[in-house]
Amino acid sequence: MGINFKYGGNVCANGIRQHYLRYGGAVGGRSARPTIVLIPGITSPAITWGFVGEVLGENFDTFILDVRGRGLSSAGTELDYSLDAQAADTAALVQALGLTRFSLVGHSMGARIAARAARLIASGLASVVLVDPPVSGPGRRPYPSQLPWYVDSMALARSGADAEDMRKFCPTWTEEQRQLRAEWLHTCDERAVLASFDGFHTDDFFADAATLRVPALLMTAERGDVVRDEDVAELKRATPSMQHVRVPSAGHMIPWDNPEGFYAAFGRFLGTPLGVAKQATALN
3-state SS track over 164-220: HHHCCCCCCCCHHHHHHHHHHHHHCCHHHHHHHHHHHHHCCHHHHHCCCCCCEEEEE
- Helical H segments across the chain, by residue range: 50-56, 83-96, 109-117, 147-159, 163-166, 175-184, 190-202, 205-209, 229-238, 254-257, 259-270, 275-283
Domains along the chain?
5-277 (3.40.50.1820)
Q: What do you get for the CA distance between the two ends of the chain, in Å?
A: 31
pLDDT at 276: 58
CB 89 within 8 A of CB 67: yes
pLDDT at 173: 94
Residues of the chain with pLDDT under 70: 276-284
* Residue 148 burial by Cβ neighbours in a 10 Å radius (0-12, 13-18, 19+): exposed
* Cα separation, 91 vs 120, whole angstroms: 6
* Cα separation, 130 vs 133, whole angstroms: 6
pLDDT at 237: 95
pLDDT at 277: 46
* Cα separation, 181 vs 165, whole angstroms: 10
pLDDT more than 70, % of the chain: 97
pLDDT at 275: 75
CB 257 within 8 A of CB 172: yes
* Cα separation, 123 vs 15, whole angstroms: 21
Question: Is residue 38 classed as helix, strand or coil in its secondary structure?
Answer: strand
pLDDT at 193: 98
Query: For the stretch 235-248, what's the b/e string if a residue is b when 16 or more beta carbons lie within 10 angstroms of its beta carbon?
Result: beeebeebbbbbbe
**Amino acid at residue number 46:** A
**pLDDT 10s digits, 206-219:** 999 999 999 999 99
pLDDT at 283: 29
| Listed residue (258, 222, 265) closest to 132, CA to CA | 222
* Cα separation, 219 vs 196, whole angstroms: 21
**pTM for the predicted model, two decimal places:** 0.96
pLDDT at 2: 86
CB 124 within 8 A of CB 94: yes
Q: How many CA atoms lie within 13 A of 115 on its CB side?
A: 28
* Cα separation, 107 vs 219, whole angstroms: 9
